[in-house]
Amino acid sequence: MTGIKDVAREVEMSTATVSRALRDLPGVSEETRTRVMETAHRLGYVPSPGAAALASGKTRTVAVVVPWVTRWFFAAVVEGAEEVLRERGYDLLLYNLGGDEAARHRVFETSLLTKRVDAVLVLSLKPSPDELARLEKLGRPVTVVGADVPGWATVRIDDDEAARIATRHLLGLGHRRIAYIGGAVDGVLDFTAPAARLNGFHAALAEAGLRPEDALEADGSFTVAGGMRAAEELLSRPDRPTAIFAASDEMAFGVLRAARVLGLQVPEDVSLIGIDDHEMAAIFDLTTVAQPVREQGRVAAQQVLAALSAQHWAPQQVVLPTRLVVRRTTAAPPVSAGRT
């Protein structure tokens, strides 16, 4: 296996000079750097990541803490972050919690991240005060995606406003009996989106002079299967809603399946709107509130890279815009419901 001494022997330079050239450090001319790089490539020299980290104090690795790596939103955010990191020569180290509280404890409350990464991205989790204190002790840049954490770098959408946009669209079409399918607002992973979207739904109803009904709110667990289960229950009621607001497109896909099973048509019998603009939303002609998912990952990665390269860096709280995308799953309430 080719080592740095082999490269130094080939170019007739000291190993120190070759090392500086390969690590892109100052004190080496561009001509020398080019010659060393070309020779290293020709000989097939691959630097040891561990040795490079010891020499520079940098691992060129960014940790990403993900609640569920298999779910579309998280996978899309990771993809956006990885694109930016790869362009800058950084690797991504994935910590998939899989919804497990013990896994969260292992990542945040042990020394798992110490000396392994240069920065940390946390997806859709709002770290507790103890977890924030441990992250601060790392002395590394941290950006949180999908949650509002005052004083820390964050990238998110306004989930409350996104829910208001969706609900107002249904209200504007004439719907007054609107069901909501969301997720648990309390849990070991402390997601902020479910509570914020439910609050936005309630606020939009209040603006229209309506009160929320517990019987018209269901937990869909932010999954297709959960959305289907919740919709089957809601749509089987004798006084079923004329519209459903699903707080994610994946749950909305489950609603479409449930409507078909029950012999109902969308939007003729029930209107449906989601949030995300999932890559499958257009195929299902789903009306939705689009959010820039991959862009959140890209902006988060840019945040930590900026922190790594700047001597003086102030964390920013970035709120990206959402927009209503009207397709074919929403319409005025059916005449049988007493609407025009």
Inter-residue contact 247 to 180 (CB < 8 Å): yes
- Residue 325 structure tokens: 């995308």
State the average pLDDT for the chain.
89
Under CATH, which architecture does the 4-47 domain have? Orthogonal Bundle (1.10)
In this predicted model, what pLDDT tens digit does every residue of 79-98 receive, in sequence order? Answer: 999 999 999 889 999 989 88
Mapped to the 3 state alphabet, what secondary structure does the chain carry?
CCCHHHHHHHHCCCHHHHHHHHCCCCCCCHHHHHHHHHHHHHHCCCCCHHHHHHHHCCCCEEEEEECCCCCHHHHHHHHHHHHHHHHCCCEEEEEECCCCHHHHHHHHCCCCCCCCCCEEEEECCCCCHHHHHHHHHHCCCEEEECCCCCCCEEEEECHHHHHHHHHHHHHHCCCCCEEEEECCCCCCCCCCHHHHHHHHHHHHHHHCCCCCCHHHEEECCCCHHHHHHHHHHHHCCCCCCCEEEECCHHHHHHHHHHHHHCCCCCCCCCEEEEEECCCCCCCCCCEEEECCHHHHHHHHHHHHHHHHHCCCCCCCEEEECCEEECCCCCCCCCHHHCCC
Alpha-carbon distance of 249 to 220, in angstroms, equals 11
pLDDT confidence band for 340 (50 / 70 / 90): very low
Alpha-carbon distance of 140 to 333, in angstroms, equals 53
For residue 241, give the nearest of 179, 296, 290 by alpha carbon. 179
pTM score: 0.81
**Angle, CA 107 vertex, CA 102 and CA 109 arms, to 5°:** 85
pLDDT surpassing 80 at residue 280: yes
CATH number of 61-157+293-321: 3.40.720.10, 3.40.1690.10, 3.40.50.2300, 3.20.20.70? 3.40.50.2300
pLDDT surpassing 50 at residue 113: yes
Amino acid 115: pLDDT: 62
Q: Locate the domains of the chain by residue range.
A: 4-47, 61-157+293-321, 159-291+324-337
Which of 125 and 46 is assigned the larger pLDDT? 125
Average pLDDT over residues 6-17: 90
At the topology level, CATH places domain 159-291+324-337 in Rossmann fold (3.40.50)
Domains 61-157+293-321 and 159-291+324-337 share a fold: yes
Amino acid 47: pLDDT: 63
